[in-house]
């Protein structure tokens, strides 16, 4: 049933809890044709050559099929299985990224130009979503700070704002999705400069599937998944904290920072545990998603309950 207004929307309510808890049964019931389609797409995707990057977890990656078939990408459907069915409408070539705002060298980049900025690295990151499910993915990209340094931000650049592609001709309407489009996100400048923040072009040795944010997305592994904006077309350097889609939709539930924090509950459920896709038992949620040693210093002196 369509959501009539954004205040009705709840990020976790797309998939009923009972459906999610029985996901193994659900996956076993997926028609073989659907699984074959995913496999065909994976084989058809262009291979990306990447060196082994730093910061990788030693945890076992989540199976590709789970990551490619269970997505939050509201432009192509509010059900977790819908983006993988509908995102084939997304045209990823040609693709440009406009970088503007408080920078000395604003530019509209071709995707190929961006990909040549630095060697591509494979980084196996944990990825935690606010609905208490998680994945481990071998992402391919390079630090976002490489692009940031190339455009030379001025002293007025305190935050970085990101914008996804939106095309009403083949994407959901705001009324149907229950959120405003285009999708927007943002980071504080020191967060964006942190070497863990990844400008991502692929996963599992291949180009990103459309439903996972092709052709270029952000990956910020110490934050909840909705901060890792997909299909980026604009990056703007600004002086004030930029608006973000889920904070605009429901500021009580989704703050600007959205750091993974097991001690701060969502208003309607605990964040203390999570379930890895493909697993039945829950595991303890780690502070900053397990990256506290790397990023905790960014928030020294901050009240993480107030700045959630």
Cα separation, 126 vs 135, whole angstroms: 6
Cα separation, 229 vs 200, whole angstroms: 10
pLDDT tens digit sequence for 116-141: 999 999 999 999 999 899 999 999 99
Q: pTM of the entire structure?
A: 0.86
Cα separation, 114 vs 137, whole angstroms: 22
Looking at domain 6-126+139-251, its CATH class is alpha beta
Strands 217-219 and 198-203: antiparallel
Query: Which contacts of 91-94 are long-range, i.e. CB under 8 A and separated by 24 or more positions?
Result: 92/210, 92/214, 92/215, 92/231, 93/215
Q: Could you give phi then psi for residue 202, rounded to 5 degrees?
A: -160, 175
Cα separation, 230 vs 248, whole angstroms: 18
pLDDT-flagged residues of the chain (< 50)? 1-44
Bridge partners of residue 217, in order along the sequence? 200
Q: Sketch the domain layout of the chain as residue ranges.
A: 6-126+139-251
The H or E element spanning position 36 is helix 32-44
Longest dimension (CA), the chain: 55
For 287, the 3-state DSSP assignment is helix
Cα separation, 142 vs 123, whole angstroms: 9
Q: Using alpha carbons only, how large is the chain's radius of gyration in Å?
A: 18
- My answer on whether omega of the bond before 215 falls inside 30° of 0, hence cis, is yes
Cα separation, 98 vs 218, whole angstroms: 15
pLDDT tens digit sequence for 165-219: 999 999 999 999 999 999 999 999 999 999 999 999 999 999 999 999 999 999 9
For 76, the 3-state DSSP assignment is helix
Q: What is the pLDDT of residue 267?
A: 86
Q: Where are the beta strands (DSSP E) in 1-53?
A: 51-52
């Amino acid at each position: 049933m369509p959501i009539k207004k954004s205040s009705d929307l709840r990020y976790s309510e797309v998939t009923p809890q009972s459906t999610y808890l029985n996901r193994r049964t659900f996956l076993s019931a997926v028609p073989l044709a659907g699984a074959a389609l995913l496999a065909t797409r994976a084989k058809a995707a262009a291979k990306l050559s990447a060196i082994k990057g730093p910061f990788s977890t030693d945890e076992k990656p989540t199976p590709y099929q789970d990551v490619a078939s269970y997505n939050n990408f509201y432009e192509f459907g509010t059900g977790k299985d819908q983006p993988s069915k509908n995102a084939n409408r997304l045209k990823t070539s040609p693709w440009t990224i406009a970088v503007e705002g408080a920078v000395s060298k604003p530019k509209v980049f071709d995707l190929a130009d961006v990909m040549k900025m630095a060697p591509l690295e494979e980084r196996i990151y944990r990825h935690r979503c606010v609905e208490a499910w998680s994945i481990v993915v071998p992402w391919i990209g390079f630090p976002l700070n490489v692009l940031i340094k190339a455009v030379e931000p001025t002293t007025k650049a305190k935050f970085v704002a990101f914008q996804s592609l939106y095309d009403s001709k083949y994407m959901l309407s705001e009324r149907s999705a229950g959120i405003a489009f285009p999708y927007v996100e943002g980071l504080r400048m020191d967060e964006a400069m942190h070497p863990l923040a990844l400008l991502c072009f692929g996963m599992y040795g291949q180009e990103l599937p459309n439903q996972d944010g092709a052709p270029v997305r952000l990956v910020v592994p110490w934050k909840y998944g909705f901060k890792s904006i997909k299909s980026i077309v604009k990056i703007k350097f600004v002086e004030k904290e930029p608006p973000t889609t889920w904070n605009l939709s429901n500021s009580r539930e989704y703050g600007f920072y959205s750091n993974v924090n097991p001690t701060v509950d969502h208003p309607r459920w605990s964040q203390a545990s999570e379930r890895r896709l493909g697993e039945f038992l829950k595991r303890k949620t780690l502070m900053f998603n397990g990256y506290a040693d790397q990023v905790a210093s960014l928030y020294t002196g901050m009240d993480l309950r107030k700045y959630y």
